[in-house]
Amino acid sequence: MAMIISFDIGGSAIKGGIARSETDILPLGRRPTPRDDFAAFVETLRDIIAETGEQPSRIVLSIAGVVDPDTQRLICANIPCIHDRTLAADLEAELGLPVLIANDADCFAMAEAGLGAGRGHRIVFGAILGTGVGGGLVADGRLVNEAGGFAGEWGHGPIIASAAGDPPVAIPAYACGCGQRGCVDTVGGARGLERLHKTLHDLDLASEEIIGQWRHGEEKATRTIDVYVDLVASPLALAINITGATIVPVGGGLSNVEPLLAELDHAVRARILRKFDRPLVVRSECRIEPGLIGAALLGLKAEAAA
């Protein structure tokens, strides 16, 4: 039986896991991420592999970065030692094993499609509402971005409305870290919610405080959530229309606020072409290590196809 080692590579920690089948995925320990030393980065992976006492058939990395499908170079600004490398080829040369690299949001979508809220659905759009906004797309059990790329990145592109809420209020085209203005990422995550509250009320509050006040009926927080849902629902509805997704599992910190997801689901279902009489935007089910799970599923599928 093939044994896969999956890694969830974050800016602060590297977590590992062993997978022998879809129902046999075991997390390993975690180590600090060597951000500026590629040799140390490789050695950390090598040490985790050695801990298992077995030779894996391949390794798969879930990482907060994107592989350019044309050059196979990794874009990963928060870990400088692997940014702009042909990371899969470099690691294969160092470790002597086949290596797959996947974006962490893609791995999240893969986990939800295979073992989470997307089970039984042909097209699964996994949405991340965390610090920022991300996403991944799985069709017929296959990750659309298997070769790398930006499919599912609904958080970027100059698309947010210039006015939102009831009654409408003007929304600035906020500058985005991707270099554009007016991206969903500027308003859709926790930092975006805080930015909206500051714009609307000139108040600096953490997202948790805004949500807490909203849940208690506070007027200003209620207005902020109304504007937030209006802004985020339209681009998400467009993503659903384009992909044909029949379920949208949501991960990230804001996914823990189920009343907020319910509001978003209601607004999205009112704006899409296909009508659903059931929730469409739902809380993810793979709450523990979705990056490891999704990476493991990708590795197992690659082994089965080899």
Residues of the chain with CATH 3.30.420.40: 4-107+288-305, 119-283
CA 6 to CA 15: how far, in whole Å?
A: 8
Structure tokens at 273: 């072409």
pLDDT given at position 162: 97
CA 56 to CA 28: how far, in whole Å?
A: 14
Q: What is the dihedral of CA 79, 82, 83, 89, to 10 degrees?
A: -150
**27 pLDDT higher than 90:** no
- CA angle centred on 127, ends 121 and 130, rounded to 5°: 150
Give me the CATH code for the 119-283 domain, please. Answer: 3.30.420.40
- What confidence tier does 125 reach under pLDDT thresholds 50, 70, 90? very high
Average pLDDT rounded to a whole number, residues 82-109: 96
Q: Domain 4-107+288-305, what fold?
A: Nucleotidyltransferase; domain 5 (3.30.420)
CA 68 to CA 59: how far, in whole Å?
A: 19
Average pLDDT of the residues of the chain: 95
Helix (H) or strand (E) holding 133: strand 133-139
pTM above 0.85, yes or no: yes
Phi, psi of 117 (to 5 degrees): -65, -15
